[in-house]
Amino acid sequence: MDHATHLTHTATAATASPARATDLGALGARIAGAPAFAKIVVPAGVYREPTIVITKPVELVGQPGAILDGEGARTVLLVLADDVTVTGFTIRNTGSSQVAERAGIKVSDARRCLIARNQFHNTAFGVYLEKTSGCVVRENTLHGSGATQSQNGNGIHAWNSEHVTVLENDIMGHRDGIYFEFVTHGHVSNNRSVANSRYGLHFMFSNDSEYQGNTYRENGNGVAVMYSSRVAMRRNTFERNLGGAAYGLLLKDINESTIVDNTFNTNTVALHLEGSSRNTVTNNVFAQNGVALRILANAQDNVIEQNDFKANTFDVATNSRASYSTLRGNFWDRYRGYDLDHDGVGDVPHAPVTLFGLFVEQTPAALVLLRSPFVGLLDLAERAIPSLTPALRDEAPRLQARGT
C-alpha cells in the first residue's frame, strides 16, 4: 500500500512523493529531508527501517495505524535535537541486548521534547531520556516484554536530566515502571505502574522532585527512593506489592522529605525507613499490610503524625528498643486506652511495637508463631511489665480515624 507523508512548515505545505512502508529508510529519509520545525504526518502502515535519527526540531505525528517496528534488533527512534514532538505511534519490538540500551524512543542531549499518546509494545526500554532538560512524557501506554530483569529495561527511564515531567502514563511488564537517576526537579503525576518485575518507581540521587497521584500495584516492589533530599510524595496509592522482601515504599538515605495523603493497602511492608532523617509522614492510611511501618534505629528525627493504622498484622516494626523518631496523633485500631475528657485524644500513650514484633524483626523465622499461644503469653507479659515494650510510643493517639 502506498502512503503519503505531508510536511508543513509555517504557512507553506509540500507533499512528499508516495512511499511504501516496506521501503528501506523511506520514513527516515523524509524526516531527514524536512525543514526545521516541520510537521510530519505519518500515515498508517508498518515502518521497518534502521534506527530513525532526528537531528532537527520537528513534530512527528502518527495517524491511527502508524507502526514503527524495530524487528527485535534495535532502538526504533533516536532524538538528538531540541524541540522534538512524537505523538500518535505504536512503537514495538526493540529486542533485548546485553551491550546496548535499546529503546522505543531514546532522547539524548536535548531540551523540550514531548512524547505523548504513543503505544509501546515489547520494548526493552520504552522511553529513555539522557542528559535532557524540560522534556515531557505523557499519556503513553507502555507494555514491556515481561522478560526477566536481566533481559528487560525500564518503561520510562531518565538519567542525568532536569525538569522531567512524567504524566498520565500506563506502564506494565517492565523491570522498573519509572526510573530516575541523577534527575533534579522531576514531576511524576497520575501514572499507573502495575506488574513490573522490580519496582513501580525507582529513583536515586534525584533531589527536589515530587510524585503525586500515582498508582503502584502488584509490582515486585512498589517504590524505592534512595540517596535523595527534598522529595514530596502525595496522594499516591501503594497496593498489593507482595513478596518475601517486598515494600510499598522504601526510603533509604532520604532526608527532609514529605510523605502525605497516601494510601498503603495490602503490601508486605507498607513503608520502610532506613538511614533516613528529618522526614514527615502525615495523613496517610495504612490498611491490611503485613507490616505497616518499619522504622529502623538509623532512621532518626522523623515525625509520623495524623496517620490511620487499620487491620495490619504489625502496625510498627523496629530493630531497637530505643526511640529516635516521633509518633504523634495517629489512629490505631489496636488502641485499648480511654478518653475521659472526650477530646478525641487518648489519655494514655499507645505502644504500637509489640514485644513479639520486635522478636520477629530480630528473628524473622519466629513469624511462624504468629497464631500460637506463645504470642498471647508475650502480650500478657507486656501488660504486666510495660518496660518490656520498646520505647517508640504515640503520646496522643486519636480515637477516631480520619473521615469517620
The pLDDT value recorded for residue 19 is 41
The pLDDT value recorded for residue 97 is 84
* pLDDT tens digits, one per residue of 276-312: 999 999 999 999 999 999 999 899 999 999 999 999 9
For 25, residues 6+ apart whose C-beta sits below 8 A from its C-beta are 49, 50
Q: Which of 165, 64, 190 is nearest to 114 (CA)?
A: 165
> What cell was used for 283?
495523613
The pLDDT value recorded for residue 303 is 97
* pLDDT tens digits, one per residue of 189-208: 999 999 999 999 999 999 99
Q: Which of 35, 393, 111, 231 is nearest to 249 (CA)?
A: 231
- Contact at 8 Å (CB) between 190 and 213? yes
The pLDDT value recorded for residue 230 is 96
The pLDDT value recorded for residue 402 is 83
The pLDDT value recorded for residue 135 is 98
The pLDDT value recorded for residue 378 is 58
The pLDDT value recorded for residue 371 is 59
Q: Which of 29, 30, 62, 60 is nearest to 45 (CA)?
A: 62
The pLDDT value recorded for residue 207 is 96
- Which residue type is seen at 302? N
What is the H or E stretch that residue 311 is in?
none
Regions of the chain where pLDDT drops below 70: 1-25, 355-390, 403-404
CB burial class (10 A; 0-12, 13-18, 19+) of residue 211? buried
d(CA 239, CA 218): 7
**At 119, is the secondary structure helix, strand, or coil?**
strand
d(CA 21, CA 38): 20
Q: Which domains does the chain have, with CATH numbers?
A: 1-206 (2.160.20.10), 219-353+389-404 (no CATH)
The pLDDT value recorded for residue 5 is 37
Residue 403 zone, left/alpha/beta (φ > 0; ψ -120 to 50; rest): left
Task: Indicate the pTM of the whole model.
Answer: 0.87
